[in-house]
Amino acid sequence: MTSVVSEDPAVTPGRSTAPGQRAEALAVRLEDGARALAAFASALTDAEWQARVPKDGRKIGVVVHHVATMYPLEIQLARTLAGGKPVAGVTWDVVNEMNAGHAKANDGVTKRVALDLLRRNSAAAAAAIRAFSDEELDRAATVSLNADAPLTCQFMLEDHAVRHSYHHLARIRGALQS
């Protein structure tokens, strides 16, 4: 393997550009989920795009945009853990407030805008995941969102960035079947 120095913050200087098997598997799962969400959302009618997700209240289009918007933050949290630092100050109240603000600010988001952002941010998130070493994936620190439990970077990725599109796709499908 060759080492490269990069200006890209997703690539660690001096580290091989070839991802480890675990990082690659996580990145592929994220890409698969984002593609599935994008494929489903791209086929929605305008009325379906504007429909609200039961118990959530947000429009389906807003939820698709939300998934895309959250990838950079989810990667940032994973990088924090990869660096051995705790995730502090992130609570479900903060998440709910952020989600409500996003929904209000993006109420009229178009399908084209949301799907473009989903494609770009999921690709960037997958590239960032590929840059994690096995050691970084195994590193743990406390996470305020999870009652200050010590969690690994890999768990944070799996529970947030990787799972996010699958979670919301299932809820969107359920909303349209009701």
pLDDT per residue as tens digits for the range 21-62: 999 999 999 999 999 999 999 999 999 999 999 999 999 999
The Cα–Cα gap between 168 and 60 comes to: 9
Q: If you average pLDDT over residues 98-127, what whole number do you get?
A: 97
**Residue 142: what residue type?**
T
Phi, psi of 131 (to 5 degrees): -80, -10
The Cα–Cα gap between 2 and 27 comes to: 21
pLDDT given for residue 178 in this prediction = 72
Token match 């529970």: residue? 159
pLDDT given for residue 27 in this prediction = 98
Q: Does residue 2 register a pLDDT over 90?
A: no
Q: How many CB atoms lie within 10 A of CB 106?
A: 20
Q: If you average pLDDT over residues 86-105, what whole number do you get?
A: 96
pLDDT digits (tens, 9 = 90+) for 156-167: 999 999 999 999
**Which tokens go with 132?**
């994690």
- Report the percentage of the chain scoring pLDDT > 70: 89
Q: If you average pLDDT over residues 91-98, what whole number do you get?
A: 95
- DSSP 3-state assignment of 34? helix
Q: Does residue 63 register a pLDDT over 70?
A: yes
**Which tokens go with 39?**
């494929």
Q: If you average pLDDT over residues 1-6, what whole number do you get?
A: 33
Q: For the whole model, what pTM was predicted?
A: 0.87
pLDDT given for residue 18 in this prediction = 60
Phi, psi of 3 (to 5 degrees): -105, 145
pLDDT given for residue 65 in this prediction = 98
- What are the residues facing 16 on neighbouring strands? 3
